Amino acid sequence: MKMTPNAFLAAVREGRQQIGLWVSMSSNYAAEVVAGAGYDWLLVDMEHAPSDMGTVLGQLQAIAPHGSTAIVRPPWNDTVMVKRLLDLGAPGLLFPMVQSVAEAQAAVAACCYPPNGVRGVAGSIRANNFGRITDYYAKADDQTAVILQVETRSAVAQSLQIGQVDGVDGVFFGPADIAADMGLLGKHMSDEVWNLILPAARKLMDAGIAVGTLVTDPAFAQKLLAEGFTFVACGTDTNLLAKGADALLAQMRVATGKENT
């Protein structure tokens, strides 16, 4: 058995735009629901979701049959956690709060086997179909998506250098934390925030480096794709559920004359 190419990674490397959705509910059942929609990629979150290795495993298993590429965001740039997630079969990782070239290099090293990195070697793991994928060790480094998230003014200023680290497949701008770092907590869609992000993103694009982000405004997500962003998540499962539940209740209250209750 041969290793299946990473569809998301192939698309990003070829400049084909990828539409994604955030998966934060820590449930394999919920992950299966959204995976059936057919997004190009789904971000399985561990940083701001109550997920552990067991729940991530269930989500990866639920997503796998549906064609979306699951990218996992670990809670931190931690070599041990990275090793465990890759052994589980995560096709790629989004590293939060990368602040420097050195941290970028550490993230790449954690994803690569020696001599290219420091990833520990295990024989029978889910990632290699329990030893059945015969070329896994030869191809794993190249087929693992490594995406680095910049989330402060300092990181944005270094984003080109971070993106140019060998082995990095894309740079992801985190507008919520960038806004907070600018003293604009909760105002991540403000012009000031995007006036900082967009010029840095353009430098990365001009250098041939894929750029991504998460926004929950579909019109703005479309605008970013039109401006050259390669991978954009346009919503979150929790937000979709909350807004859908609120809208349905509001509709029923109006219909029954109970809108003021």
Q: Please give the pLDDT value at position 259.
A: 76
The average pLDDT across 153-157 equals 98
Query: Mean pLDDT across the stretch 193-217?
Result: 98
pLDDT of residue 214: 98
Active-site annotation, residues = 48
**pLDDT at residue 261, as a whole number:** 62
Share of the chain above pLDDT 70, in %: 100
HSE, CB side, 13 Å, CA atoms: give it for residue 128. Answer: 18
Q: What is the DSSP string of 32-94?
A: HHHHTT--SEEEEESSSS---HHHHHHHHHHHGGGSPEEEEE-SSS-HHHHHHHHHHT-SEEE
pLDDT at 190 over 90: yes
| Per-residue confidence (pLDDT) for residue 15, from 0 to 100 | 96
Which secondary structure element, helix H or strand E, spans residue 247, and what is its range? helix 237-255
Pairing of the two strands 170-173 and 231-236: unpaired
Q: Are 143 and 5 in contact (CB under 8 A)?
A: yes
In Å, how far are 19, 75, 164, 231 from 13, measured between CA atoms? Answer: 15, 26, 14, 11
CA distance 208 to 163: 10
pLDDT band for position 114 (50/70/90)? very high
Tell me: the pLDDT tens digits for 56-83? 999 999 999 999 999 999 999 999 999 9
pLDDT at residue 258 in the model = 78
| pLDDT tens-digit map of 14-51 | 999 999 999 999 999 999 999 999 999 999 999 999 99
Average pLDDT on 207-234 reads: 98
pLDDT, residue 257, reads 85
Going by the DSSP 8-state scheme, the letter that residue 4 receives in this structure is: P
Looking from the CA of 18 toward its CB, the CA atoms found within 13 Å total 28
pLDDT 10s digits, 159-174: 999 999 999 999 999 9
Q: What is the mean pLDDT of the chain?
A: 97
CA distance 196 to 200: 7
CB hemisphere CA count around 159 (13 angstroms): 32
pTM over 0.75: yes
The phi-psi region of residue 257 (left if phi > 0; otherwise alpha if psi is between -120 and 50; otherwise beta) is left
Geometric angle at alpha carbon 206, from 205 and 208, rounded to 5°: 65
**Residues 219, 225: contact at Cβ < 8 Å?**
no
Q: Is the pLDDT of residue 260 over 80?
A: no
